[in-house]
Structure 1
Amino acid sequence: MRAWDGMDAFVEVVRLGSFSAAARHLGLSTAFVSRAVSALEQRLGTQLLHRTTRKLRLTDAGRLYYEHARHLLEGFDAAEQAIVDYQEGLRGSLRISLATTYGERYVAPLVNEFLAMHPQLGVDMDFSNRNVDLIEEGYDLTIRTGLLADSNLVARRLGERRLFVVASPAYLAARSAPRTPDDLVDHQLLLGSASHWIFLEDGQPRQRPVRGRYRASSGQALLDASLHGLGIAQLPDFYVEAPLAEGRLVSLLDAWRDENGAVWLVYPRSRHLSPKVRQLADFLCERLQTPPWQLPGE
């Protein structure tokens, strides 16, 4: 008996929630899948699943085994796919999550260029500012901005990203400009989807909670509100560099601005990096080293 006999049956039963669903997915009979899992439990000397007529539930041992087995099977699949990619060129599909505006403006055109070079490759791009779960939601990679906290992910720095606190000259004409982040409590703040702003304090980026009567999950809407004198906003550089240069916005609290912000390309640490993901990652990292909005003609 091989060490991995029954492993794929067990993983599919847990993933799909029943023996019958796993059997259909594997192209086997339900009885065969049930016997395979029972034989696996007997060989391991422990129960992996609690079985009832209505549902299945993992034991503690089953939960531990599932996490390891799932990653092993992903590795097997990735190894075979790597050979296919090597022999036949890049093919299949990439599932990518992109921060909305940055992704639309700067990443999507490069992904389109990459696809033009690899006509057998497809892509599914999801534009959203929410923090997706790459493993559970099945993404190959994502583009994230700002601070990263998940140590289970591998992050490659794509490029720079700085956050500016800005207001219009008209807004500041009626109020004193804030001198420190503490002064913001006396101002109208224009908020995005986050409940905090980031400032450099004691040499480290810190998150400060913020409140305001205006909230929008669109950077473009925040920019427009700032230009109309509705309040103070914190926005990425690619939104505000042109209005700042034109004098339509004023940069505030520059001494507290974190100059080391970044855009990250992120993928799961446990997942074998297939050639198609690795080549796209290399391509994006090379092309986005210099912020696109700072290139000549931008």
Structure 2
Amino acid sequence: MFNWEGVSEFVAVAETESFTKAAGRLGISTAQVSRQVSTLETRLAAKLFHRTTRKVSVTEVGRIYYQHCRQVLDGLDEAERAITNLQTTPRGLLKITAPVTYGESMIAPLINDFITQYPELEVQINLSNLKVDLIDEGYDLAIRLGQLEDSSMMAKRLGSRTQHVCASPSYVSTYGLPHTLSELEQHNCLIGTLDYWRFQEKGKARNVRVKGNLSCNSGHALVDAAIKGLGIIQLPDYYVNSFIESGELMSLLENNRQADEGIWALYPHNRHLSPKVRMLLDFLGEKLA
């Protein structure tokens, strides 16, 4: 049977003349596009692209292969539209896993909205910070945060999260503002699951080891401690945004804020993406963008 792996990525690169733009079109990482195209070239024993640091262009062999692939993909798109039109109402079982806190605060409410629109669905949500095996345990979708580990899963970026360093106005009035990363060692930093915080300095990522008199694996508990003036925290936006807006917390060291991290949906590469999963991905992507 024909191996489709890498074909969609190849066509996207050929049409955009850019691995980065192709990744944006497909909603996956640039590294994943590059990996899939390289695997395809190895399988075909043919060079499909000329690559330089500034430009990507299709080889003569690549142009021939593209013409055939485009016709096939157009036919598949038409066939999928025909089937999707027969299944415009999502129904049946969806099995999803997500991290506990983000799942509680963001994913589960959105899935509840999705079920409200499509009540014929049966949804099982497992909120866990453990990395479950999607294939062995039969999951359709996993939500992952931050930098993805290299895996055989397909990944679609749904949105991003921002890490904030925060303290209460009462803490700042008593102990002052940290103006540089080095000044953090003079402050009481309330620690979560890691004993270092992530920043950006002069365009480069930098980890800063911190210490304080409270450590806890609950972000909500750390927010409460910070609001009560016990120290400084670093947590994602979904923990602290409402408190920053209300003035109960102040955002600090904004010039050193690390680049936003991805919020990803992962699904098995070898599993057919059913209309209900595709519609959920589109729904989550629209709401979390």
- The equivalent residue for 2:239 is 239
TM-superposed CA distance for 1:144, in Å, is 2.1
Instruction: State the alpha-carbon separation in 2 of the partners of residues 136 and 189 from structure 1.
Output: 40
Q: CA RMSD in A?
A: 2.8
Tell me if the contact between 2:110 and 2:284 (Cα under 8 Å) persists in the aligned partners: yes
What code does the residue aligned with 2:108 have?
Answer: A
State the match for 2:191 in structure 1: 191
Q: CA deviation at 1:136?
A: 4.2
Instruction: Work out the percentage of aligned pairs sharing the same amino acid.
Output: 47
Take 1:134 and 1:223, find their aligned partners in 2: how far apart are those partners? 32
Q: What is the aligned residue count?
A: 207
Matching of residue 268 in structure 1 with residue 281 in structure 2: no
Give the structure-1-normalised TM-score. 0.60
- 1:250 paired residue number: 250
User: Partner letter of residue 142 of structure 2?
Assistant: T
Question: For each residue in 1:173-229, what CA deviation from the matched residue of structure 2 results, as whole angstroms up to 9, or x when unmatched?
Answer: 332422222332332221223443221234244444444432222221111100011
- Equivalent residues of 1:85, 1:275 under 8 A apart: no
Distance in 2, matches of 1:132 and 1:204, equals: 32
> Is the radius of gyration larger for structure 1 or structure 2?
1
| Amino acid paired to 2:229 | G
Q: What is aligned with 1:147?
A: 147
Q: Secondary structure at the match of 2:90?
A: coil
Where in structure 2 are the equivalents of 1:9-20 lying within 5 Å?
none
Partner of residue 90, structure 2: 90
- Counterpart of 1:240, as a letter, is V
TM-score normalised to structure 2 length: 0.62
What's 2:201 paired with? 201
Residue of structure 1 equivalent to 2:284? 284
Determine the structure 1 residue equivalent to 2:172.
172
User: How does 1:56-205 map onto structure 2 within 5 Å?
Assistant: 90-205=90-205
Distance 1:238 1:208, change over 3 A: same
Residues 215-258 of structure 1 show CA distances to partners (whole Å, capped at 9, x for unaligned) of 22222111110001111101122322232233322221111102
Distance in 2, matches of 1:202 and 1:149, equals 26
Q: Write the letter of the residue equivalent to 2:245.
A: A
Counterparts in 2 of 1:85 and 1:268: CA distance versus 1, 3 Å: farther
Unaligned runs of 5+ in 1: 1-82, 290-298
Match of residue 26 from structure 1: none
Task: Report the residue type matching 1:258 in the other structure.
Answer: Q
CA shift digits 1:91-145 (9 cap, x unpaired): 3322211233332233222212222333332111122334444334432212222
Distance 1:254 1:272, change over 3 A: same
